[in-house]
């Protein structure tokens, strides 16, 4: 199942990361995982939070530009070669991956969780199910 | 004395004379046959030159130097013999040196913001204020504003001519005026919604800011029909964007304090060039280098002569605005001539690596890229002796993506769009929303750090 991810535009200067995280803190919205993509000039902060709709409103009211994108959380065996096996299935299915990152907070000794941003998340769900790749539900994660 | 005929009050005595939304009789001089218009212009020109000669030392000295007297003006073409007046003449004679009326007859003073040194001071007799109101009524009428309209006047009130000029004009028209002045965006939006505002006056950049904030605050703009925008140069692309986004009709109004304030000219419903109120302001286009008068259709600097000003006549004032007189007749039927859109002023121009650049060109380039808004700032620096131009552009929700490569593509897209128009390499930097300063009056587009 798909998860809603928030992304924010950040200028590359001090204090930019703190402002949105403080806004979420004040609104008591739990941050589950995040990743920061950056260039020399700007960055994109990507967040998975417990309540994405409310979080989006909080951030927008603070004057930030926020995007909501759908990402897919995939279970990976927590062993050497576990991720490679999943990537092999993805590649065979011909799915385009924009980016991916680890959801460390939901890892266990047996499994890891990786967030994938696919070009076409709906097609990805169908193809991954057929390939036997385990996609997690939001109940399992949040 | 008999009272009014019963029922006349309800019918409104002015109703036959000023049908809301119909032709306003005050617009009649806009449609004078050219021959009669020229006769009025010549008669007024002779009288204003005589007044300037008799009462203002600077004008008299300059005419004497050229061996001219008021009698030298026998035709409109003779105006070309007179010297130009420039902004520094107003500074040099600060504060009252160009007044042609004694203070007993002057009822109002205004002054420019004076970003460089002393401000310039302008004066009005009661008759001057009446002319100003008249041209503002004609301006509003040309924009389709009428009695019954609720006009939010967000031009700054005070020494700046914008606020009071628009105020008295809209009142004289019979519209309902809200003298809100500039600034306080939230209150502006509340009033637009709660008072059912149908027309607004402000700078185009401030309106853009209002419209954007309205979208965020979910303010209902649906009654707003007309925008009367001026006091800064803006591009046709900006007008398209404003009209598309807010559904209003955006008119350009032109004016300058040295001449009278707003109301020197305005766009009619055709929105194709600004009609100059030629019966009060005589336009010429000159070659800015040689000073030679150019024929209609040729681009050059606009020079204006006030034909009816009493307190402070201006003879051949160089506006620094670059435009041309449109030779063709307008589809609206007005006979007063139009000037093409002024989107550059010779003093807005910056020279970068030898190339002349106007902020309006950058604006046009940015607006060509889908989804961008013209909240931009140009920063000029010098690195290793070479001029560098950076354009800061705010990211909007429409263009923001969660993928780096898409934002980088946007950046390159903006860079090549600017490069195509200017023929100069520029660096575009994406900045966070609302990080560039918003002006409540005239937008400041260029920060030049080269001489620091």
ipTM score assigned to the predicted complex: 0.84
Let me know the angle formed at the C-alpha of B196 by B194 and B202, rounded to the nearest 5 degrees. 100
Rounded Cα gap, residues B69 and B61, in angstroms: 10
Give the model's pLDDT for residue A47: 95
CB B121, CB B161: distance < 8 Å: no
Give the model's pLDDT for residue A56: 95
Q: Do A60 and B216 touch (CB under 8 A)?
A: yes
The minimal CB distance from B408 to the residues A5, A39, A66 is found for A39
**Section B265-274 average pLDDT:** 96
B326 or B91: whose pLDDT is higher? B326
Give the model's pLDDT for residue B19: 65
Task: Please tell me the distance in Å from B267's CA to the nearest CA on chain A.
Answer: 36
Q: Do B435 and A37 touch (CB under 8 A)?
A: no
The minimal CB distance from A67 to the residues B400, B429, B432 is found for B400
Give the model's pLDDT for residue B127: 98
Domain boundaries, chain A: 3-69, 70-141
Rounded Cα gap, residues B378 and B292, in angstroms: 33
Q: Do B402 and A63 touch (CB under 8 A)?
A: no
- 0.90 exceeded by the pTM? no
Rounded Cα gap, residues A47 and B354, in angstroms: 47
DSSP code of residue B329: P
Confidence of residue B16 (pLDDT cuts 50, 70, 90): low
Q: Give the CATH number of domain B350-448.
A: 3.30.300.30
Query: What sign for the dihedral angle of Cα B292, B298, B303, B304?
Result: positive
Contacts of B397 in chain A (CB under 8 A): 65-67
**Section B66-93 average pLDDT:** 95
B-chain residue closest to A40, CA distance: B429
Confidence of residue B5 (pLDDT cuts 50, 70, 90): low
User: Measured over all CA atoms, what is the biggest interatomic distance in chain A, rounded to whole angstroms?
Assistant: 46
B206: Cβ–Cβ under 8 A, 6 or more apart, which residues? B154, B182, B438, B439, B440, B441, B443
Q: Do B400 and A9 touch (CB under 8 A)?
A: yes
Contacts of B436 in chain A (CB under 8 A): none
- Compute CA distances B158 → B111, B165, B167, B233, whole Å: 9, 10, 11, 21
Rounded Cα gap, residues B189 and B407, in angstroms: 32
- Architecture of the domain delimited by B21-345: 3-Layer(aba) Sandwich (3.40)
Query: What value does the CA radius of gyration of chain B take, rounded to a whole number of Å?
Result: 23
- According to CATH, the superfamily of the domain at A3-69 is VC0802-like (3.30.2130.10)
How many residues does this entry show for chain A?
Answer: 142
Q: Do A60 and B433 touch (CB under 8 A)?
A: no
Cβ–Cβ contact A117 with B under 8 A: yes
How confident is the model over A35-59, as pLDDT tens digits? 999 888 899 999 999 899 999 999 9
Domain boundaries, chain B: 21-345, 350-448
Contacts of B433 in chain A (CB under 8 A): 9, 63-65
Cβ–Cβ contact A57 with B under 8 A: no
- Please choose, from the candidates B226, B30, B221, B202, the residue with its C-alpha nearest in 3D space to the C-alpha of residue B144: B226
Tokens of A67: 């995007």
CATH code matching the domain that covers A70-141, chosen among 3.60.21.10, 3.40.50.2300, 3.30.360.10, 3.30.2130.10:
3.30.2130.10
Q: Count of CB contacts below 8 A, A vs B?
A: 49
B40 or A130: whose pLDDT is higher? B40
């Amino acid at each position: 199942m798909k998860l809603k991810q928030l992304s924010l535009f950040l200028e590359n200067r001090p204090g930019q990361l703190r402002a949105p995280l403080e806004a979420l803190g004040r609104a008591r919205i739990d941050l589950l995982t995040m990743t920061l993509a950056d260039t020399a000039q700007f960055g994109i902060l990507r967040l998975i939070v417990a309540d994405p709709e409310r979080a989006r409103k909080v951030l927008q009211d603070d004057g930030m530009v926020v995007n909501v994108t759908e990402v897919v959380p995939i279970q990976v065996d927590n062993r050497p070669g576990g991720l490679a096996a999943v990537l092999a299935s993805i590649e065979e299915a011909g799915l385009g991956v924009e980016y991916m990152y680890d959801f460390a907070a939901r890892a266990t000794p047996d499994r890891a969780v990786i967030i994938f941003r696919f070009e076409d998340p709906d097609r990805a769900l169908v193809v991954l199910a057929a390939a036997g790749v385990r996609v997690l539900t939001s109940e399992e994660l949040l | 004395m008999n009272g009014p005929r019963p029922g006349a009050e309800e019918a409104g005595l002015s109703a036959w004379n000023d049908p809301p939304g119909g032709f306003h009789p005050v617009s009649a001089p806009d449609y004078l046959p050219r021959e009669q218009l020229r006769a009025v212009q010549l008669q007024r020109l002779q009288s204003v030159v005589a007044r300037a000669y008799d009462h203002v030392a600077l004008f008299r000295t300059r005419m004497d130097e050229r061996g001219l007297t008021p009698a030298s003006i026998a035709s409109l073409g003779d105006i070309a013999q007179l010297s130009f007046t420039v902004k520094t003449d107003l500074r040099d004679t600060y504060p009252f040196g160009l007044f042609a009326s004694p203070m007993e007859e002057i009822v109002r003073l205004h002054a420019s913001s004076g970003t460089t040194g002393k401000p310039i001071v302008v004066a009005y007799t009661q008759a001057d204020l009446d002319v100003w109101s008249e041209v503002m009524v004609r301006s509003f009428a040309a924009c389709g504003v009428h009695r019954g309209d609720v006009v939010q006047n967000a031009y700054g009130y005070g020494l700046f001519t914008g606020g009071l000029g628009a105020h008295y004009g809209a009142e004289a028209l019979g519209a309902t005026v809200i003298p809100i002045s500039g600034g306080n965006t939230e209150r502006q939006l509340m009033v637009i919604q709660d008072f059912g505002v149908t027309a607004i006056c402000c700078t185009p950049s401030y309106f853009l800011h209002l419209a954007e904030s309205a979208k965020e605050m979910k303010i209902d703009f649906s009654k707003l029909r007309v925008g009367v925008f001026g006091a800064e140069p803006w591009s046709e692309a900006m007008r398209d964007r404003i009209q598309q986004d807010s559904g209003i009709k955006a008119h350009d109004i032109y004016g300058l304090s040295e001449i009278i304030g707003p109301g020197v000219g305005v766009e009619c419903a055709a929105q194709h060039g600004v009609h100059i109120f030629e019966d009060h302001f005589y336009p010429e286009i000159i070659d800015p280098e040689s000073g030679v008068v150019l024929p209609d259709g040729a681009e050059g600097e606009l020079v204006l002569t006030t034909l009816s000003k009493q307190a402070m006549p201006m003879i051949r004032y160089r506006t620094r605005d670059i435009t041309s007189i449109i030779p063709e007749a307008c589809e609206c039927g007005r006979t007063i001539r139009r000037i093409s859109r002024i989107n550059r002023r010779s003093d807005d121009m910056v020279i970068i690596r030898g190339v002349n650049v106007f902020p309006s060109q950058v604006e046009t380039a940015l607006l060509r890229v889908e989804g961008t808004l013209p909240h931009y700032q140009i920063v000029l620096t010098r690195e290793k002796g070479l001029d560098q131009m950076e354009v800061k552009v705010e990211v909007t929700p429409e263009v923001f993506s969660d993928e780096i490569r898409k934002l980088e593509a946007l950046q390159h897209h903006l860079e090549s769009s600017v490069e195509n128009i200017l023929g100069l390499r520029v660096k575009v930097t994406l900045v966070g929303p609302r990080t560039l300063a918003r002006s409540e009056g005239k937008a400041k587009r260029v920060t030049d750090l080269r001489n620091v």
